[in-house]
A and B are shown apart, each in its own frame.
Chain A
Amino acid sequence: MSDRLEQIKEAVITRKRAEIHGLVETAVNEGIEPGSIIDSGLIAAMDVVGRQFSDNEIFVPEMLVSALTMKMGLDVVKPLLLKSGENRSRGTVIMATVKGDIHDIGKNIVIMMLEGAGFQVVDLGVDLTVEKLVDQVDAVRPDLVGLSALLTTTMPEMRRAVQVLHGRGSGKTVKVMVGGAPVTPSFAREIGADGYGADAAEAVALARRLTSPGEGQAAC
């Protein structure tokens, strides 16, 4: 990897917000492909940040700032991708926090990382009723739905959402991945979710698997 990409990666990992804009611009001016800047610089950094988070070396405050730094870098590169007509979309994901739960940090970090990884994300926000979710799934026709719950008190709502989405029986059923502090792999399996991500990095890896052609197996 070029030194410049390594610098970009390091700036995201170490949360150097003041430097990221200049570093990415310099990389573009040096002729480095926007796709490489995203994959080998910005996203590669968030993979490291995700691992640090999983290993309890850093926590949400630091992760938020790294994600913000990544987004600042993405904002420089994305217009160039659009201009070049390169289609990097890996698919469309609807993201939401279930009814009764207004916690959205985890969801927001996952969204930032999914966008970085090339997904189109439709953020339906927090406290989302199953009815509204179904309406949006019908309107957007996403490849994947990601549901978050932070409270044990709202986990039953997650169960209901998955059951409704999977029980409609008309056409192709949308895949659902779930996550959030109280959610466990066994809960995800029990409610019939297609996958569970313990953190943002796992959620992105899961989204990649679930949207890959031929993917049909539950991943939780």
Chain B
Amino acid sequence: MKSTPYNLVMSALYKGKKGDRPPAGNPTSIVCHGLMDACGVSFPEAHLNPQAMAELALAGHEILGFDTVMPEYSVDQEAAALGCEIDWGDRDRMPDTKFFPHADFSDVVVPMDFVEKPSIRVVLDALSILRRHVGGKAAIIGKVMGPWTLSYHVAGTQNFLLQIGLEEKDKVKRMLRQLMPATIASARAQFQAGADIVVLADHATGNLVGAYHYQEYLLPIHKELTSTIEGPLILHVCGNCMDRIEMFADAGFDGYHFEWQVDAKKAVEKVGWRMCLVGNVNNAETLYQGTPDDVYQQARYAIEAGVDIIGPECAIPLATPMENLKAIVAAVREGY
């Protein structure tokens, strides 16, 4: 196998041949102020304009040296298409959902033209631009929100979690099921537009909800999603998910993007033989506040533990120094 960025990522995803080195990948945003300045594209433009979105993603590959390009920086693209009011933020601030149209748990109907809504279309167009630029060279990653995260957006996070606490099981399950078509339509459209891999982010976050919540509410839905969406999927769930990591493998995901709170060695021991592991360099203390050497040490720890694709654990703080992101790339380029 040629050790090109694309080959390294795709082979790592399927637990195939190892090339000269592990790949550096970013299932979530690696945009920081330095990267915006370096390529001349900034937020919020990069959430709303496909060319800007694609250029910023390319910068992660061309300037920082990551082996992937991932053009979706917010978690709000589907929410906007579902009628949520979005504040798209600015250079210093990520977008946020401002209004929850189904706080009353009224029925959610995913519109027929869902993937043609502007906030979805922009990602699809950006993926197609990236395909034309780096198709077959770097791995192109799309990103969709799962029904759990979409429930936070349409009903409000606290409200949704409260209904779970109140054991309004039918209400919760109905909302999750009603949102599934949005995730499926978005993921399929992203593959058709040019994504090699799609990240499915579904924030049944460790420390926020328990493994028993995941098992009851989300595992059955994730199983259906992985069997319905044909292309390779990497699950992203924040927090310490060691208590449910085996369920993520049971759900049928090809990969799991995980946080530093889950020890890399233990994660590999538990599920490394069943799915690709992606991560898990710490954002808050290491990438944002640490030195390039701190980042390098943590990336090397992950490589030695057997993590397949090395990258930040989650979307990075915008003030993260570029040198720290480059230290991840330096660590993978040393090889195994």
B97 contacts across to A, CB distance below 8 A: 102
B161: contacting residue among A60, A99, A184, CB under 8 A: A60
Q: Say yes or no: A105-B209 contact (C-beta < 8 A), given A61-B162, A156-B319, A190-B289.
A: no
Assess whether B284 is in contact with A64, with CB atoms less than 8 Å apart.
Answer: no
Interface centre among B166, B207, B317 (most CB of A within 10 A): B317
Closest to A183 in B: B284
Contact of A29 with B by CB under 8 A: no
Tell me how many residues of A have a C-beta within 8 Å of chain B.
Answer: 33
B93's nearest neighbour on chain A, judged by CB, is A100
A62, A156, A182: residue with the most chain B Cβ atoms closer than 10 Å: A182
B213-A152 in contact (CB<8A): no
Residue contact B318 to A156, C-beta cutoff 8 Å: yes
Q: Which residues of A contact B210 (CB under 8 A)?
A: 56, 58-59
Residues of A24-50 whose CB lies within 8 A of B: none
Q: Which residues of chain A from 94 to 127 have a CB within 8 Å of any chain B CB?
A: 99-105, 108, 127
Does A186 belong to the interface (CB within 8 Å)?
yes
Say whether A187 contacts B162, CB under 8 Å.
no
Q: How far is the CA of A220 from the CA of B317 in the complex (A)?
A: 22
Question: Which of A61, A104, A184, A187 is most buried by chain B, counting CB atoms within 10 A of its CB?
Answer: A61
Contact between A59 and B317 (Cβ–Cβ < 8 Å)? no
In the complex, A184 Cα to B285 Cα: how many Å?
A: 8
Query: B305-319 CB contact bits vs A (8 Å, 1 = yes)?
Result: 000000000111111
Assess whether A65 is interfacial by the CB under 8 Å rule: yes
Inside 8 A of B205's CB, which chain A residues have their CB? 181
Q: Are the CB atoms of A64 and B96 closer together than 8 Å?
A: no
Q: Are the CB atoms of B165 and A153 closer together than 8 Å?
A: no
B89: A residues at CB distance < 8 A = 100
Given A59-B213, A155-B288: A64 and B317 interface contact (C-beta under 8 Å) = no
B158: Cβ under 8 A from any A Cβ: yes
Contact A64 B165 (CB under 8 A): yes
Query: Cα distance A127–B94 when bound, in Å?
Result: 11
Q: How far is the CB of B184 from chain A (nearest CB, A)?
A: 26
Residues B93 and A186 in contact, CB atoms below 8 Å apart: no
**Closest Cβ–Cβ distance, residue B208 to chain A (whole Å):** 5
- Quick one: given A102-B98, A105-B157, A152-B317, are A182 and B284 in contact (CB under 8 Å)? yes
**Segment 143-177 of A: residues with Cβ below 8 Å from B:** 151-156
A214 and B330 CA atoms in complex are apart in Å by 50
Residue B283 at the A interface, CB < 8 A? Answer: yes
The verdict on A71 contacting chain B, using a C-beta distance below 8 Å, is no
Given the interface pairs A59-B207, A60-B208, A99-B93, the reply to whether A156 lies near B158 with Cβ below 8 Å is no
Interface residues in B273-297 (C-beta closer than 8 Å to A): 283-285, 288-289
> How far apart are the CA atoms of A118 and B98 in the complex, in Å?
32
Q: Would B157 and A103 count as touching, CB distance under 8 A? A: yes
A60 to B94, CA, bound (A): 24
Which residues of B sit under 8 angstroms from A155, Cβ to Cβ?
284, 288, 317
Residue ID in chain B nearest A182 by CB atoms:
B284
Write the chain B residue with the least CB distance to A180. Answer: B284
Q: Does A9 have its Cβ within 8 Å of any Cβ on chain B?
A: no
Cβ–Cβ < 8 Å partners of B92 in chain A: 100
**In chain A, what residue has the closest Cβ to B29?**
A153
Residues of chain B with a CB closer than 8 A to A62's CB: 165
Bound together, the chains give a CA A121 to CA B17 distance in angstroms of: 58
Complex Cα spacing A24 to B229, Å? 53
Which residues does chain B contribute within 8 Å of A183, judged by CB atoms?
A: 284
CB<8 Å pairs between A and B, sample of 9: A62-B165, A100-B89, A100-B94, A105-B158, A152-B314, A154-B93, A181-B207, A181-B239, A182-B284
Binding site for B on A (CB under 8 A): 15, 56, 58-65, 68, 99-105, 108, 127, 151-156, 181-184, 186-187, 190
* Shortest Cβ-Cβ A-B pairs, 5 listed: A61-B165, A65-B165, A61-B164, A100-B93, A152-B283
B residues with a Cβ closer than 8 A to A are 89, 92-94, 96-98, 157-158, 161-162, 164-166, 205, 207-210, 213, 238-239, 243, 283-285, 288-289, 314-319
